[in-house]
Amino acid sequence: MATSVNNGVNVDALLAAREALKGAPAAANFTWRATCKWQNGTHSETTVQGFHGLGEEQKHKTEFSFSADHPEIFASEDKGATPVELVLVGLASCLTAGVAAVAQNRGIQLRSVESKLEGSMNLYGILGIDADVRNGYDDIKVKFIIDADATPAEIEAIVAQSQKRSAVFDIVTNPTNVSVEVESKRTKTA
């Protein structure tokens, strides 16, 4: 198709990987990791670097670090984004990567891709005021503003396909089993 289209996504490599993984199901099992350390108050620093995939340990080129905190109206020091904002970061970046990959695969040149995300939440949940109000977002709205060499229907189809194949969109829209274990480094002696 349009060989001049370049969104910076190596679709040939992705398609080759898809074919290769079809014949090697175990290599398709990935484990992603993050390591978090409490700083002070509601401030924490989380780093990511190592992960497992293609049957062996892998590594990002460098370690990436993320600060999370809460704003001053929560009586915090505001040293980072709130964790719920980081969820929006994950959703936005996942959908955007998908838009680029799908557009490349469909031979559509992107000019600009911007998105605005809004998650609404009632604090009665996390504050324990009303048991009928959930802790998390009750609604998330994503608006994409895209300039591309394509019809509006083609652009809508790219965004729809991106959602269909997005890991974070799936994580946010479907339940996931989460197990939390605790290891005590020091225990009070009675």
Partner 1 sequence: MIGAGHAGLAVSRGLTERGLDHVVLERGEVANSWRHERWDSLRLLTPNWQSRLPGFAYDGPDPDGFMTMPEVVAFVARYASVSCAPVRTRTAVTAVRPADGGYDVVTDQGPLRARSVVIASGACNVATKPGLHTAVPAAIAQVTALDYRNPAQLPDGGVLVVGAAATGVQLADELRRAGRRVTLSVGEHVRMPRLYRGRDVLWWMDASGVWNQRYDEIDDLGRARRLPSPQLVGTPERRTLDLNALGDAGVEIVGRLSAIRDGKALFSGALKNQFALADLKLNRLLDAFDAWAAANPRAVGDAAASERCEPTRAPEKSRLSIDLTTGEITSIVWATGFRPDYRWLEVPVLDAKGYLRHEGGVVDAPGLYAIGLPVLRRRKSSFIHGAEDDARDIAEHLDGYLATARTPTIQVS
Question: CA torsion, points 162, 168, 169, 174, in degrees to nearest 10?
Answer: 140
Question: String of b and e for 124-153 (b: at least 16 CB within 10 Å)?
Answer: ebeeeeeeeeeeebeebebebebebebeee
Rounded distance between C-alpha atoms, residue 169 and residue 94, angstroms: 8
- Candidate list 160, 168, 189, 190; residue touching partner 1; CB under 8 A: 160
Enumerate residues 122-141 that contact partner 1 by CB under 8 A: 139
* Nearer to partner 1 (CB atom), residue 4 or residue 177: 177
Could you tell me which of 53, 128, 38, 44 has the C-alpha nearest to residue 86? 44
* Nearer to partner 1 (CB atom), residue 110 or residue 169: 169
Taking residues 8 to 37 in sequence order and writing x for each that binds partner 1 by CB under 8 A, - otherwise, the string is -----------------x------------
* Nearer to partner 1 (CB atom), residue 79 or residue 106: 106
CB of 38 to partner 1, least distance (A): 30
Enumerate residues 166-185 that contact partner 1 by CB under 8 A: 169-170, 172-175
CB of 99 to partner 1, least distance (A): 13
The CA distances from residue 58 to 13, 30, 93, 167, 183, in Å, are 18, 10, 21, 19, 26
Rounded distance between C-alpha atoms, residue 89 and residue 97, angstroms: 12
CB of 157 to partner 1, least distance (A): 5
Q: Which residues lie near partner 1 (CB under 8 A)?
A: 25, 139, 153, 156-157, 160-161, 163-164, 169-170, 172-175
